[in-house]
C-alpha cells in the first residue's frame, strides 16, 4: 500500500544519502593522501585564436586517478576539496605546477603564451592569494601576463570586501582575470562590468545548444558585444564541431576551446599537438 511504498522510498533515499556521505568521506580522505603524495596531475587544453588559428594559450585542468577508485572527475573532487578544507592546498599545488610546467615548455622551445588556472571561491577567503601569486611569478621568473586566473561567475557573485581587494591586487600584479562559466550565474551585468576582468569565458552549455535553440546564440552574441564594449577578451569553451566554430568565428569570438581543437592532455603531448595542428588544412 501507499504507506509501505512511502516508507520503502524513504529507506531507499536514506541509503542513497548515506552512500553519498560515505563516498564523500572516502574521496575526501583519499584526496588528502593524493595531495600529500603528489598523485594529482594537470592536463592542458589548447585555446585557439579566431582568425590566425594560432595557440592563444592552454587551460590547466586537474586530473586524479586513484589506484582503486579509478579516475575521479574534478567536477566530483573539487567540491569535496572545498568542503573538507583542502582546496587551499590543491589550489596552491595547481598554481605552482602550472608555473613550473610553463618554464619546462619554455626551456624545450615549446611556445605556450598563456596558462589559465582555475581558482575556487574558497581560495579567496584566505588572505594572501595575491602575495602567493606574486611569489610564484618571481620564483619561476614568469611575466605576469602569462598567467590567467579563472573564477566562476557564481564565485564572483559572492564577493566580500576582502575578496574584492584580492581581485584588485591580482590585477595590479598584471595577471589575467577570467570570468568562467559566464551565463550560468545570474549575476547582474552592472556588477560584472565593475569587476577588474581581462576575459569572459562563455559557458559551454551555450555553444552546445547552438543548433537547438536560438536563445543560446543570442546570449553568446550579447556576451561578445558586452566583452568588446568592456574591452575584455571573449573565450568560448565546449567547441566540438566545425559548424560551431564557423558561427563563433563569424560573430567575433576571440578565442575558442573545445574537443574540436584538442582535449585536455598531458603536458608532454602539447608540443606534438602544436606541430600537428599547425600542419592541418
Ligand atoms: P571549467 O573550468 O569550466 O573547465 C571546462 C570543462 O569542460 C573541463 O572539464 C573540460 O575538460 C571540459 N571541456 C572542454 N572542452 C569540451 C568540449 O568540447 N566538450 C565537452 N563536453 N567538454 C569540454 P573538467 O576537466 O572535467 O573540469 C570540470 C570543472 O572542474 C572545471 O570546469 C573547473 O570548474 C573544475 N576544475 C578542474 N580543475 C580544477 C582545478 O585545478 N581547480 C579548481 N578550483 N577547479 C578545477
Ligand atoms: Mg575553467
Ligand atoms: Mg568553464
Ligand atoms: Mg565549467
Mean pLDDT, to the nearest integer, of 16-36? 88
Q: Of 33-37, 40-44, 128-132, which one has max mean pLDDT?
A: 40-44
What is the C-alpha to C-alpha distance for residues 68 and 71, in angstroms, rounded to an integer? Answer: 9
Mean pLDDT, to the nearest integer, of 52-77? 96
User: Which residue reads 602539447 in cell numbers?
Assistant: 270
| Chain segment 90-101, per-residue pLDDT in tens | 999 999 999 999
Q: For residue 42, which atom of ligand 1 is closest to its CA?
A: 41
| Chain segment 124-159, per-residue pLDDT in tens | 877 899 999 999 999 999 999 999 999 988 787 777
| Closest C-alpha to ligand 1, atom 12 | 238
Q: Which residues are 246's β-sheet partners?
A: none
> What is the predicted pLDDT for the residue at 4?
58
Q: For residue 181, which atom of ligand 1 is closest to its CA?
A: 3
What is the C-alpha to C-alpha distance for residues 266 and 44, in angstroms, rounded to an integer? Answer: 6
From 35, 63, 237, 260, mutation site for ligand 1 pocket: most ligand atoms within 8 A of C-beta? 237
Confidence bin at 6 (pLDDT 50/70/90): low
- Least Cα distance to 231 among 198, 184, 202, 279 occurs for 198
Residue 278 has pLDDT above 80, yes or no: yes
What is the C-alpha to C-alpha distance for residues 145 and 137, in angstroms, rounded to an integer? Answer: 10
| Chain segment 245-255, per-residue pLDDT in tens | 999 999 999 99
> What is the predicted pLDDT for the residue at 153?
82
What is the C-alpha to C-alpha distance for residues 105 and 140, in angstroms, rounded to an integer? Answer: 12
What is the C-alpha to C-alpha distance for residues 68 and 65, in angstroms, rounded to an integer? Answer: 9
Q: How many residues does the chain have?
A: 281
Question: Contact, 154 vs 184, CB < 8 A?
Answer: yes
* Least confident stretch, 20-24, 46-50, 96-100, 194-198: 20-24
| pTM across the whole model | 0.93
Q: DSSP assignment, residue 143?
A: -
What is the C-alpha to C-alpha distance for residues 106 and 89, in angstroms, rounded to an integer? Answer: 26
Confidence bin at 194 (pLDDT 50/70/90): confident
What is the C-alpha to C-alpha distance for residues 241 and 259, in angstroms, rounded to an integer? Answer: 8
> What is the predicted pLDDT for the residue at 183?
86
> What is the predicted pLDDT for the residue at 155?
80
Pairing status of strand 115-118 against strand 55-66: parallel
In angstroms, what is the span from residue 166 Cα to ligand 3's centroid?
Answer: 21
Amino acid at each position: 500500500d501507499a504507506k509501505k511504498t512511502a516508507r520503502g522510498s524513504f529507506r531507499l533515499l536514506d541509503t542513497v544519502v548515506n552512500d553519498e556521505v560515505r563516498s564523500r568521506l572516502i574521496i575526501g580522505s583519499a584526496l588528502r593522501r593524493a595531495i600529500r603524495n603528489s598523485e594529482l596531475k594537470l592536463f592542458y587544453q589548447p585555446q585557439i585564436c579566431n582568425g590566425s588559428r594560432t595557440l592563444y594559450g592552454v587551460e590547466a585542468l586537474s586530473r586524479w586517478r586513484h589506484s582503486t577508485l579509478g579516475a575521479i572527475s574534478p567536477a566530483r573532487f573539487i567540491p569535496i576539496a572545498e568542503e573538507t578544507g583542502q582546496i587551499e592546498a590543491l589550489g596552491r599545488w595547481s598554481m605552482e605546477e602550472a608555473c613550473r610546467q610553463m618554464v619546462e615548455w619554455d626551456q624545450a622551445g615549446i611556445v605556450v603564451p598563456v596558462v589559465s588556472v582555475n581558482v575556487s571561491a574558497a581560495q579567496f577567503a584566505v588572505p594572501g592569494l595575491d602575495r602567493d601569486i606574486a611569489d610564484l611569478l618571481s620564483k619561476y621568473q614568469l611575466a605576469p601576463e602569462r598567467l590567467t586566473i579563472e573564477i566562476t561567475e557564481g564565485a564572483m557573485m559572492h564577493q566580500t570586501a576582502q575578496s574584492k581587494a584580492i581581485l584588485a591586487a591580482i590585477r595590479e600584479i598584471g595577471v589575467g582575470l577570467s570570468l568562467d562559466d559566464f551565463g550560468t550565474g545570474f549575476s547582474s551585468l552592472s556588477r560584472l562590468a565593475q569587476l577588474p576582468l581581462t576575459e569572459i569565458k562563455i559557458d559551454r552549455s551555450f555553444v552546445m545548444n547552438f543548433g537547438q535553440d536560438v536563445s543560446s546564440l543570442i546570449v553568446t552574441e550579447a556576451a561578445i558585444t558586452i566583452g568588446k564594449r568592456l574591452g575584455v577578451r571573449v573565450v568560448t569553451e565546449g567547441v566540438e564541431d566545425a559548424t560551431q566554430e564557423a558561427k563563433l568565428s563569424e560573430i567575433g569570438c576571440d578565442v575558442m576551446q573545445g574537443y574540436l581543437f584538442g582535449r585536455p592532455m598531458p603536458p608532454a603531448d602539447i608540443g606534438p599537438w602544436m606541430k600537428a595542428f599547425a600542419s592541418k588544412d
